Structure 1
Amino acid sequence: MRFLKSFYIHNSFFWYIAILSACFVFSFWFTVLYPIAWLLTMLLAALFFFDCYLLYATEGIFANRHLPQKLSNSDLNPIAIEFETRYPFKTFISIIDELPVQFQKRDFEYSSSLLKGEKQVFDYTVRPVDRGEYVFGNLNIFASSPLKIVKRRYIFQNDQMVPVYPSIIQMQQYDFLAISNRLSEIGLKKIRRIGHTQEFEQIKEYVPGDDFRTINWKATAKQQHLMVNQYQDERSQPIYSILDTGRVMKMPFNELKLLDYAINATLAFSNVALKRNDKTGMISFSKNIETFVPAIQKLTHLNTIMEKLYNITTEFTDSDFGLLYAHIKRKVTHRSLLLLYTNFEHISALKRQLPFLMAIAKKHVLVVIFFENTELEQLIATDAEDIQTIYHKTIAEKFSLEKKLMQKELQKHGIQTILTKPNELTINTINKYLEIKARGLI
C-alpha cells in the first residue's frame, strides 16, 4: 500500500501510449508498422520497469518547509522550502504544498530540475487576512527521472500549525524609527512643538521651527551660532486603545475587516508609546467589556497586549457605549489619552452615543477614530454617464458629507477625531499621538 500511494504515472507516459496507438492504427494500412509498433511496446514496457527501479532503488529526495513561529496578519509572510536530490541522475520535481484552508488556494505548484546532489530553495509568500491557527498540510514532492514515465511521491511535514497574530511586521516597521525619533521618515508629518515641560534634555543647534524662547544665549555666544535648550516630553502617561468589536467593525476593506486594521494599529502604536516611555493599556467592548489590560510601562507588557489582540473577534451586536463609560469611570482613575477605534455610518448613530463620548471626554483626552468609506470616494471620483450613475454619485456624496459632519460635530464638543482610510490608520494614529504629546494636552 505504501508503494501504491507513492506511485504515479507521468503525463509523458500517456503521450507515449498515444504514439503507440497511432502506430497500431496506421499499421492497418501500412503493415510494415505492425512489428515496429510491437517492438516499441516492448521497449516502453522495459523502460517502464527500469524507471520504477531508478526511482525506488533509493530514497532520493529530501525536503524541509521553513515556517516562522508566527505569521503576521495582512502582511506578505515569507516561507521557504529547501529540497535536495541524492539520485545519481538529473531529477525533475514538482512541489505541491498543501496551504491552510483559509487561503482557499488549490493550484499551488512549483516545478524544477536538480542535478546529482544539488540543493535548492524555493521561496514564496502568503498573506493571511484572519487571525487564528493556520495548519499547513503535506509538503508533496513528485520526482521523475529523465525518462519521465513514472513519478514517485514524497511526503514531508504533515500538519504544521502556525498562529496568525496581529501585524508584527507593521509593528517592527515602526519600532526602530520610534527609538531613533525618525517617525517622520515614513510619511508621518512633523508636528511643531507648541509647549514643553521643564525637564531639560540637551543643548542643540537651532533649526527653523524651534521655540525662540528656548535659546541658550551663553551657549550661543560660545559657539558663534544659535543654540537652544531641548526639553523632554512628560513621560509615563497612561494611554488606552479602546476597540469597538460590534457589528460596525465587520465592514471589509481589501479583504480585511475594519477591526483587524484597528488591531494592527493598536499593536504598532502600543509599541511606539512604550518605546517613548508611556504607559499603554487596552480595552475591547461590544455588549460587554471583553478585555481590559491596565496601562503599564514595561516593554514586556507588549506581549500581553499582543496575546489579548490575538483572541479578539467581532460581534454581530450593537456596542454599549454607556457600559464603556461606566467601566472607564470605575477602572481608569487617572487622566489618560483614550484612542477609541469605532465606526459611524450615519450621523444619527453618532448622536445616540454622543452623550457618553462627551462624558468620557470631560475627564480624559478622547480621540475618536472612525473610517472613510473608500468605495464611496471611488464612486464620487468617477464621471457620471447616465441617470442611474448620477443618483448613485449623489447618494455617495451625501454619505461622504455625513462623515465630515460627524467629525465637525465631535470637534465642536472638544473631542479629538481622526477620519481616515483603513490603510492609513496606523500612520494617522501615531500622528495624532505625537501632536497631542507636543501640545501637552495630557
Structure 2
Amino acid sequence: MAITGRAAALAFASVLAVVFSPAPGWTLLLANGLLIAAITVDLALAGGVRTLVFTRSGPSTARLGTAVPLVLAVTNTGRRTVRAQIRDAWPPSSGATPRVWRVTVPAGQRRFCDLVLRPTRRGDRHPYRITVRSLGPLGLAGRQGRHAAPWRLRVLPPFTSRRHLPAALARLREIEGDATLRGGGQGSEFDSLRDYVPGDDVRMIDWRSSARRGTVAVRSFRPERDRRVICLLDTGRTSAGRIGDTPRLDHAMDAALLLGAVAARAGDRVSLIAHDASARVTLPAAGGPNPLVRMSAALALVEPVLTETDHQAIASSVLRIAIRRSLVVLFTELVPAVIEEGLVPALPALTARHTVIVAAVSDPRLAELAAGRGDVRALYSAAAAEQTLLQRRQLTSLLRGYGVQVVDAPPATYASAVTDSYLSLKSAGRL
C-alpha cells in the first residue's frame, strides 16, 4: 500500500480542525474515521498492479554519444482501470529520461511510455526494475508493486574518427582503386598485359604473349589483396590513463576501428586482439566490406585492467593466429616500463615474421607545459614535460632500430596517423 501527499495534506488539515474545535476529542475521532474510510475506499477502488504486463522495444545496440529511443508498453490485463505512476529505474550511466510517467490504462488496453537513453559509458546497460503505484479515484492511497521488463542495450565505442574515413578511402583509391598501380616493386599480384612503352622495366616483358600478339607486351601488377592486419590493443594499466576526459584505451579503439574499416575496404582481413596479462578478446581474421560491427561489439565490453601487460604472451598469441606475414599494429604507450622492460624482449619474434607498427597517443598538455616560462613553478613543469618528451623520442628511436614503425600523435590526429602509416606501407608494397 502507498499513501500519497494528498492524504498527508488532509491529515494536516484535520489536525488544524482539532486544534480550533470546541470539542477536540470528538473532532479527532471524526476526522480520523473519515480519513481512514476515504483511504480504505480509495485503496479498494484502485486497479491492481499485478495485472499489468510490461514489454520493451527499440534498438539493442548504439554507439556511445548517441540518443537511443526505447518504448515501454504497459498492458492492463485486469478488469479495472489503472491510474498508475510508473518509475523505470536504469543505471545512472544510462542517462535515462524521463524516469517517471503518469498513465491511465483502461481494462484490456495498452499504453506506451517513450524513453530516451543517453549512455555515458561503453558496455551493456540493463534496467533495474519497474515500480508501479496504482492510485484510487480520490488520489489518497493506492497499491504498489514491482515488475521486470528485461532489456539489454550494448553501448559500442563512439568511432569519432569516422570523419577521417572519406579522406582515407580516397587515398586508398589512389593506391589500388580504379587506377591500378603499375610497374615492378608496386606489388606482386598480376593485373593485366599492356603494350610496352619506353622506360618500362625489361624484366616485366612477357615474351610468350609478345610472340602471340606480334607486339611487345608488359606485365602490370597491383598491390596484393587479402593481406592480414592484426589490431593489437594493450589493455594493461597504462591504457587506463586519461588524456583529457578520455582513457587511452578508448583512443586506441577509435583508431583501430578506422584502420579496420579502411583495411577491409582494401580487401585485407582484419583480426583483433585485446591483451594484458591474458587475452581479453581474440577476434579471428575475417573479410567483408565492413568489419566495424564485429569489432565494435567485441570492444564494447573491454575495459583497462590494472596489471602489467605480458608482452611475451602477446607475441605468442600473434604468432599462433597469424601464420602468413601480417601487419601487426600494437596500440600501447611509450613509457620505459612498457617498451624497454616489456615489448623490446618480445620484438625479435614479431619482426622476424611480421611488419610491426607501434601506435601511441600523445598528450597535447605536454607541449603546453614545455612552453611555460612564466614563473618558477611553470619552469619546473616545463622541465618535467621536456624530459617526458625526450624520453618518448628516445623510445621511438629504440623501436625504429628494431625495424618497427612508430606513430606518436595527439588525439585529434591519432586515428588518421595510424591509418596513414598502413596506407603508406601498402603503397610501398611492404605488406
Q: TM-score range by the shorter chain?
A: 0.5 to 0.7
Determine if contact 1:283/1:292 at 8 Å carries over to the other structure: yes
**Aligned partners of 1:438 and 1:305: how far apart in 2?**
25
**Aligned partners of 1:333 and 1:92: how far apart in 2?**
62
- Structure 2 counterpart of 1:147, which letter? L
Q: Once the two structures are aligned, what percentage of the paired residues are identical? A: 17
Matched position secondary structure for 2:328: strand
Note the alpha carbon deviations across 1:188-241, whole angstroms, 9 max, x for none.
69648478534779xxxxxxxxxxx9xxxxxxxxxxxxxxxxx97642111111
Residue 44 (structure 2) pairs with residue 53 (structure 1):
yes
Per the TM alignment, residue 44 of structure 1 is displaced from its structure 2 partner at its CA by 3.2
Matched position secondary structure for 1:370: strand
Quick check: 139-148 or 322-331, which moved more? 322-331
Taking a change above 3 Å as real, the CA distance of residues 332 and 381 of structure 1, as seen in their structure-2 partners, is: same
Corresponding residue for residue 23 of structure 1: 17
Q: TM-score normalised to the size of structure 2?
A: 0.67
- From 236, 239, 243, the equivalent of 2:229 is 239
Per the TM alignment, residue 340 of structure 1 is displaced from its structure 2 partner at its CA by 0.7
- From 138, 141, 144, the equivalent of 1:147 is 138
Matched position secondary structure for 2:46: helix
Per the TM alignment, residue 398 of structure 1 is displaced from its structure 2 partner at its CA by 3.7
Corresponding residue for residue 4 of structure 2: 10
- Structure 2 counterpart of 1:141, which letter? V
Corresponding residue for residue 109 of structure 1: 99
Determine if contact 2:49/2:133 at 8 Å carries over to the other structure: no
Taking a change above 3 Å as real, the CA distance of residues 269 and 333 of structure 1, as seen in their structure-2 partners, is: same
Taking a change above 3 Å as real, the CA distance of residues 118 and 253 of structure 1, as seen in their structure-2 partners, is: farther
Corresponding residue for residue 184 of structure 1: 166
Note the alpha carbon deviations across 1:249-275, whole angstroms, 9 max, x for none.
233467765335534654564354334
Determine if contact 2:232/2:329 at 8 Å carries over to the other structure: yes
Determine if contact 1:373/1:400 at 8 Å carries over to the other structure: no
Tell me the C-alpha RMSD between the 2 structures: 4.9
- Structure 2 counterpart of 1:184, which letter? P
Note the alpha carbon deviations across 1:126-171, whole angstroms, 9 max, x for none.
526354x65433222323356331133243325x36374753x649
Per the TM alignment, residue 321 of structure 1 is displaced from its structure 2 partner at its CA by 3.6
Corresponding residue for residue 111 of structure 2: 119
**Aligned partners of 2:389 and 2:273: how far apart in 1?**
29
**Aligned partners of 2:98 and 2:322: how far apart in 1?**
50
Corresponding residue for residue 274 of structure 1: 264
Per the TM alignment, residue 369 of structure 1 is displaced from its structure 2 partner at its CA by 1.1
Note the alpha carbon deviations across 1:253-298, whole angstroms, 9 max, x for none.
6776533553465456435433432112234444566766553435
Corresponding residue for residue 339 of structure 2: 350
Determine if contact 1:144/1:152 at 8 Å carries over to the other structure: yes
- Structure 2 counterpart of 1:366, which letter? V
Taking a change above 3 Å as real, the CA distance of residues 95 and 326 of structure 1, as seen in their structure-2 partners, is: closer
Determine if contact 2:272/2:295 at 8 Å carries over to the other structure: yes
Quick check: 336-345 or 296-305, which moved more? 296-305
Per the TM alignment, residue 329 of structure 1 is displaced from its structure 2 partner at its CA by 5.6
Taking a change above 3 Å as real, the CA distance of residues 408 and 115 of structure 1, as seen in their structure-2 partners, is: same
Matched position secondary structure for 1:56: coil
Unaligned runs of 5+ in 2: 183-189, 193-199, 201-220
Corresponding residue for residue 368 of structure 1: 358
- Structure 2 counterpart of 1:433, which letter? Y
Taking a change above 3 Å as real, the CA distance of residues 154 and 389 of structure 1, as seen in their structure-2 partners, is: farther
Q: TM-score normalised to the size of structure 1?
A: 0.66
Corresponding residue for residue 223 of structure 1: none
Determine if contact 1:129/1:255 at 8 Å carries over to the other structure: no
**Aligned partners of 2:371 and 2:28: how far apart in 1?**
67
**Aligned partners of 1:166 and 1:92: how far apart in 2?**
34
**Aligned partners of 1:439 and 1:312: how far apart in 2?**
34
Corresponding residue for residue 441 of structure 1: 430
- Structure 2 counterpart of 1:332, which letter? A
Taking a change above 3 Å as real, the CA distance of residues 267 and 142 of structure 1, as seen in their structure-2 partners, is: farther
Determine if contact 1:285/1:319 at 8 Å carries over to the other structure: yes
Determine if contact 1:85/1:114 at 8 Å carries over to the other structure: no
Give matches, 1:348-427, under 5 Å.
Answer: 349-352=338-341, 353-354=343-344, 356-357=346-347, 360-361=350-351, 363-373=353-363, 376-377=365-366, 380=369, 387-388=376-377, 390-392=379-381, 394-400=383-389, 402-403=391-392, 406-407=395-396, 410=399, 415-421=404-410, 426-427=415-416
Matched position secondary structure for 1:80: strand
Determine if contact 2:84/2:135 at 8 Å carries over to the other structure: yes
Question: How many residues were matched structurally?
Answer: 388
**Aligned partners of 1:286 and 1:90: how far apart in 2?**
54
